[in-house]
Each structure stands twice: as structure tokens, then as C-alpha cells.
Structure 1
């Protein structure tokens, strides 16, 4: 039986560890335990960043920084991390504004009986992206885990 690709296993494990750590960081922020945090997008640390950083570090440690695979993983990682803290975060901020706007419409519609406004049952998800520090936290976590995985593979 063939073993799973160590780079893939390293990246997936880093994602899982980062997602698990979100429970602890949520507890520290709010004082409440919430195991649902393991399935959320956004939050500290970024699992996207952890996964791509772990893969790039794993490859760089095994192949060297000048190898094409390292370049591909690094550029892919930079794009993913930029997207996580840029576009996805802004999408979450827009969702927050839309939810607030809907709440305001609901409040106003009570004052005007002829104004027909049907409120949605579920609000838009606002926690889609990451703050830069969350991306950095995930990248550092991933780099550490990628390095450890590469060094332990050779033993």
C-alpha cells in the first residue's frame, strides 16, 4: 500500500491544527467555549495561511529555496494569503453592512404599514476573511509545522 504524499499530509494537518486552535483563541477572546469555531472561516489563526505556508516550507526544506516546486508553492501561498486578508475580508465587511441595512429596513417598515418588507430568515455570514495578524499567525504556525514535518521525515 502506498503512503500518502507527505507534503499533502503536512498541509492538511496544518489546516486541521489551525482550525482546532480557533476554539482556543475564541475562548480567550470571548471567555466562552465554542467547538463550532472548528468549522468557521476567518478567525485566528488562518488555516488557509497555515496550509499553504506548511506546504511551501516543507518543500523548501526538502528541495531547497531555488527549486521550481518551492517557487510554485510560495507564489500559490502568497496569493491565497493575500486573498484571505484582502478580498474575503472585504466581502465579510460588506456582508456586515448589508445585514445592518436590512435591520434598519425592518425597523423602518414598522412605522410605514404600506411599506412591504420581508426580512430574510438568516443573515449573511460576516466572518469570511482574516485580519492581517490572523494571516501572519497562520503563516508562522504553518512554517513551523512544515519545517518539523520535513525534518522528521528524514529520520
Structure 2
């Protein structure tokens, strides 16, 4: 088989990518419902509900566990990766988003004295995730991997 054919028959790869894709679409739809505004950036951007990072790594880890077993090095590596990614999403990246929001508010307040800030100059606020967003992404990734691996 060719490389691409092998790749698209790889349940571990498909579980991770499908987890990411479904989470991004859900995130965009949820944002649309809450704000009544379609923002195309939500399809590829980070932050928001559910966490696509968590869906991706949990889909990866679950599929590796199903395929190779709980005692395999593939499963161990993917679980450690998932823990690091989800911890980072709730920690450093979430704090970065909170700080960006505060800085944007400060810059906006200062802009009344002079030049107005353009939307391109604002810092990105959707960066990290709340624990609920990470949990929702993790559950989504696990469910997707189970469905893909047992189909």
C-alpha cells in the first residue's frame, strides 16, 4: 500500500485527527450559538469548548491502548503526552489568555488618550482552557477513539 493509504487506515491516527476535527467544529458551533456570530478562526484556533487539544491526545491514547494494550510503550508514551498537553492547556496557556485579556483592556483604556488599537494589534485571548473544557475534550476524544477502533 502507499503511504497515504496506510495513513488513512491507521486507526490511531484517525482517532486523533477525528477528535481534533470534531472538537473544532463543535467549538465553532458553540461559539456561534453563544455569540450569534460566525468566527471562522474558531475552526482552527485554540481555546474554547471543548478542548481540541484534549480530544486529540485522548483519542490518540485511547486508540493506542485499544490497539496495543495497556502495557505497551505506545500506550505509555501517548498517555504521558496527553497528561502534559492537558496540564499545559489548563495551566500556562490558560494564564496566558487571562493576561492577554487584562493587557487588551489596559491598552484599550490607554487608547482613549491617543491612537485607537486595531483588531490586529490586540493580543489573542482564546489560548487556554478551563478544566471543564479539557474534560469535555478528553471525553470526546475517548468516545471517538472507541467508535473508530471498534467499527
TM-score range, shorter-chain basis? 0.7 to 0.9
**Structure 2 residue matching 1:130: 3-state secondary structure:** coil
Structure-2 separation of matches of 1:97 and 1:34 = 22
Consecutive unaligned residues in structure 1, runs of 5 or more: 111-117
1:97 aligns with 2:102: yes
TM-score, length-normalised on structure 2?
Answer: 0.86
Greater mean deviation of Cα atoms: 30-39 or 122-131 = 30-39
1:47 CA drift (Å): 0.6
**CA offset digits 1:42-100 (Å, max 9, x no partner):** 11111110000001000111222122211110010010011111111100111111111
**Structure 1 residue matching 2:128: 3-state secondary structure:** coil
Consecutive unaligned residues in structure 2, runs of 5 or more: none
Runs of 4+ in 1 over 4 A off after TM superposition: none
TM-score, length-normalised on structure 1?
Answer: 0.84
1:32 CA drift (Å): 3.8
Contact kept, 8 Å, 1:102 with 1:119, in 2: the verdict is no
Contact kept, 8 Å, 2:111 with 2:117, in 1: the verdict is no
Structure-1 separation of matches of 2:144 and 2:96 = 30
Structure-2 separation of matches of 1:91 and 1:34 = 21
Contact kept, 8 Å, 2:24 with 2:43, in 1: the verdict is yes
2:125 maps to: 126
Contact kept, 8 Å, 1:22 with 1:43, in 2: the verdict is yes
Structure-1 separation of matches of 2:38 and 2:100 = 25
- Taking only aligned residues, the RMSD between alpha carbons, in angstroms, comes to 1.7
1:33 CA drift (Å): 4.1
1:148 CA drift (Å): 1.3
1:37 aligns with 2:42: yes
**Structure 2 residue matching 1:40: 3-state secondary structure:** coil
Task: Give the 5 Å matches for 1:1-155.
Answer: 1-2=1-2, 3-4=6-7, 5-107=10-112, 109=113, 120-121=117-118, 122-152=121-151
